Amino acid sequence: MPSSQDTASFIGNTFRSVWALELLCFLREHRDRELSHIEMVSGLRGSDLVVSQSLASLAAAGLILVDDKGSARYAPATEQLDLLVDQARTLYGRSPDKVRRMIIAGASPGLSAFADAFKLRKD
């Protein structure tokens, strides 16, 4: 079972947007079949561009398989990745804001460092 640190690293390093995580969760919910591009756009109520970009990053991360027609299915390359996805999905369900912050921090570490400079700390 991956640690909470492993899960946090996975989230920060894998997802460039919440849309990508939402798409992965959607594909995982329908893991028994391939979903067409239209089904994914409709299911997420997202745009073609957002779905296309998310598909590319998820495929590159070894989490899904995409065919030449743009259909995709959940297919993590390893059991460890499947466990990390499950933990990320669970954490996202419990603490969506925390997961969003992890994604933002991973996508723009410089911005997070700048924002951290303005945090008020208790001594």
Domain count, the chain: 1
- CATH code of 14's domain: 1.10.10.10
- Residue 40 lies inside a defined structural domain of this protein: yes
According to the model, what pLDDT value does residue 1 have? Answer: 80
Q: State residue 121's pLDDT score.
A: 56
Could you tell me the residue range of the domain that residue 95 belongs to?
Answer: 4-107
Residue 112 lies in a domain: no
Helix ranges restricted to H, 36-78: 37-44, 48-60
- For residue 115, being part of any structural domain is answered with no
Query: What CA dihedral angle connects 105, 108, 110 and 115, to 10 degrees?
Result: -50
In a domain, 96, yes or no: yes
Q: Tell me whether residue 47 is in a domain.
A: yes
Kindly state whether residue 123 falls inside one of the protein's structural domains.
Answer: no
pLDDT, one tens digit per residue, over 24-64 is: 999 999 999 999 999 999 999 999 999 999 999 999 999 99
Q: What is the model's pTM?
A: 0.83
